[in-house]
A and B are shown apart, each in its own frame.
Chain A
């Protein structure tokens, strides 16, 4: 018993301080992931039955709604295409970095780890589908989180509100940079190291800045809800509400960054950003 206790303690210390045990964790995770699939099965069944029993009326209504939404979207898409070209041309003129285009993979949320304080969700896609640790996850409304563990068939996502999560952001209005940290509360994030005199106000949209190369730039993250400036403190107390539907989404998107216009661009990049992109592509 003493030996096991010491071994356990050793494991806890190693696992919580280093990444040495990640292969072990991923292997065990592959073995236990069927449990999540089985636990989620009843919901798949009820959803399937619900679809079969849905009335013709409601299906027609839904179809109409989706059709009109599609029309709106394709109108926006046309604008978007021309804007993107214009943007690329302007960036080219300025000699700055080209934006990163991304492929996405749809994944379903099949479970949640039953641990208080942690915001870990289980996705039904794993290393078999090319998912990797550190991959960015978004949903229809904004940045969702990142992959922290990958089994063969399932993976674990830490949402942006997890206490140990942080994402580099900038204010869309004026490019003010900051870091949005999770608080463990799924309702708000906190901005770190914002000077008291900084130009930031409730209602400002925060988008991912792409610094550090982990998250692709330009995805909406949160909306500033409250700015507290206490002259006694070194930094402003800024709270923001995450945009992603963290506890309502059923499907999320795994982002695979891809560089649009390779050789020419990487030469222009500062060294550190090139490394980030290389790392993301591997």
Chain B
């Protein structure tokens, strides 16, 4: 068994995903553009678990989620739970997933992203004691759809990085 290498690429891609999740659009861009932000962290974690299931485990995903919670100001543990759950599902399906077409994978991403965003929404409603609004649900679904649409390009970029930089 060859030694693990290229861990910094995984770390860098996770940091980059976090960066993209908080970067602000320049003033003057229309407001609706901010609505179209996909869940970058989900895509990156999904890719690495599928491609290298021995490198990104449950605990790591959970810790990444914990950092995301602090970054986004969620109650501690919400994203942690979500990303660990996604890792669990991906991990139990990864052999089959690799055989899927890109569209089929995107469909699974859509399901996972919807579940994750619903968990986030529910956590916000419960911890903040807010009442349910349809706008929140629409936002959730838009994010999920955008995440699925971004899967093919993210996949191509990360695969290119993995092969080029020989991450194993």
Contacts and interface: CB of A to CB of B under 8 A. Distances in A.
A118 B73 contact: yes
- Chain B residues touching A, range: 35 or more
A46 B85 CA distance: 40
Interface of B: 15, 18-19, 21-24, 26, 34, 37, 58-59, 62, 66-67, 70-78, 80-81, 84-85, 88, 123-124, 126-130, 136, 139
14 contacts: A1-B58, A1-B88, A4-B84, A9-B77, A12-B81, A12-B127, A29-B70, A39-B23, A43-B26, A113-B22, A118-B128, A149-B73, A163-B128, A164-B128
A35 B19 contact: yes
B76 A12 contact: yes
B15 A35 contact: yes
Contacts of B21: 114
Contacts of A29: 70
Contact of B24 (A28, A31, A39): A39
A21 B58 CA distance: 22
A12 B22 contact: no
B84 A15 contact: no
Interface string A5-47: 1011111101110000100110011011001101110010010
Contacts of A49: none
B130 A184 contact: yes
A142 B134 CA distance: 33
Contacts of A149: 73
Contacts of A193: none
Nearest to A27: B70
Given A12-B75, A15-B76, 9 more contacts: A1-B84, A1-B85, A5-B85, A7-B77, A12-B123, A32-B18, A35-B18, A118-B128, A156-B73
B74 to A, nearest CB: 7
Which 3 residue pairs are nearest across A and B when measured between Cβ atoms?
A: A11-B77, A8-B81, A16-B127
B151 to A, nearest CB: 20
A115 interface: yes
A117 interface: yes
A209 to B, nearest CB: 25
A262 to B, nearest CB: 37
Interface residues of A, number: 40
A10 B77 CA distance: 8
A9 B22 CA distance: 25
A39 B77 contact: no
Given A8-B77, A12-B75, A117-B128, A38 B19 contact: yes
Contacts of B75: 11-12, 15-16
B24 to A, nearest CB: 6
A111 interface: yes
Nearest to B63: A28
A1 B84 CA distance: 7
Interface in A108-137: 111-118, 120
